[in-house]
Amino acid sequence: MTEIIPYPSPNYAERLPGSSIKYLILHYTACNLEMSLKILTDNNSSNPVSAHYVIDEAGCIYQLVDEVYQAWHAGVSFWKNREKLNTWSIGIELVNPGHGPNCSPFPSLQMESLLGLSKKITARHQIPAYHVLGHSDIAPGRKIDPGEHFDWAWLAQNGIGVYPPLKVDVEAEVPDVMTIQVLLQDIGYRIPLSGILDSYTINVIKAFQMHFMPDSVDGRLTKALGSRLNQVKQAYTL
Ligand SMILES: [Zn+2]
């Protein structure tokens, strides 16, 4: 296990009464290590932020906030029947340039460190595999990290998170909007059952695709989307 380097941030608070640690939320920082640590420890900002851990591209782990406290990584967020996910979660930030022209894969040293740390955290707090989520899952439309370049499949193969094998269902039909919305809601995304393909619904579809169909993040209603939603729903409701 990689040594954990203390790098305390003043940006934290008591967890809310009645809450406990139920989720592990993964992020990218969209900037380099130095800038990431600066932003995540800056309490003069108008919007102070933090995370429990930062993992750099070489796999070094920095601890900014004790797990007892809530770190400020999720913002306005929800999953299933819960909101304000900061109080219910541990947050890990991965140093990565994120989307855009400089986007680059997450190095294997970084992923190995993430895997080791996630195993400890999920064991310590008995976090189920289907409660390991991306920021984009809990704040669709507002956040797009850790993005489609993050290897959820590898992580799940190694015991963290859920990523059912991709199967093509030749029998599948193109689903209607209401069917898609119901499936997304069953999995955990917050989405109104309007039957209307509005911009919010498209953003939630894209959030789902970034996590579970990283090669087709297009927000389109397709047979492949319908069958993938059913596969994930089954895996999430075992
Ligand atoms: Zn984030």
Do 207 and 104 fall into the same domain? no
User: Is the same domain home to 131 and 181?
Assistant: no
Residue 166 lies in a domain: no
Question: What's the DSSP call for residue 65?
Answer: S
108 and 142 both lie in a single domain: yes
Rg (CA), the chain: 17
Q: Ligand 1 centre from 50 Cα, in Å? A: 10
pLDDT at 153 over 80: yes
Q: Are residues 201 and 130 in the same domain?
A: no
74 alpha carbon – ligand 1 mean position (Å): 6
**How many independent structural domains does the chain possess?**
2
Distance 63 CA to ligand 1 centre (A): 16
Mean of pLDDT values over 66-79:
98
Look at residue 87 and tell me whether its pLDDT is greater than 60: yes
168: CA distance to ligand 1 center in Å?
31
| Identified catalytic residue from 57, 93, 112, 148 | 93
CA 75 to chain centre: 13
What's the confidence (pLDDT) of residue 172? 79
Is 112 in the same domain as 229?
Answer: no
* Whether residue 19 is found in the same domain as residue 109: yes
Residue 106: pLDDT band (50, 70, 90) is: very high
In this model, does residue 152 exceed pLDDT 80?
yes
Residue 121 shares a structural domain with residue 202: no
Vertex 53: Cα angle to 26 and 209 (nearest 5): 5
- With respect to residue 170, please indicate whether it lies within any of the assigned structural domains: no
Please give the distance, rounded to the nearest whole angstrom, from the Cα atom of residue 172 to the centre of ligand 1.
34
237 pLDDT above the threshold of 80: no
Q: Are residues 101 and 204 in the same domain?
A: no
d(CA 57, CA 163): 24
**Pairing status of strand 53-55 against strand 61-63:** antiparallel
**Could you tell me if residue 109 is inside a domain?**
yes
Catalytic residue list contains 93 = yes
**Is residue 220 domain-shared with residue 140, that is, in the same domain?**
no
pTM of structure: 0.97
Q: Is residue 172 part of a domain?
A: no
Average pLDDT for residues 115-128, to the nearest whole number?
98
Per-residue pLDDT at 238: 63
118 & 61 share domain: yes
| 87 shares its domain with 199 | no
Domain that holds residue 8: 4-157
Nearest to 210 by CA among 142, 111, 166, 144: 144
Same domain, 108 and 72: yes
Specify the amino acid at residue 227. Answer: S
Give the HSE-up count for residue 51: Cα atoms under 13 Å, Cβ half-sphere.
Answer: 24
Q: Does the pLDDT at position 1 exceed 60?
A: no
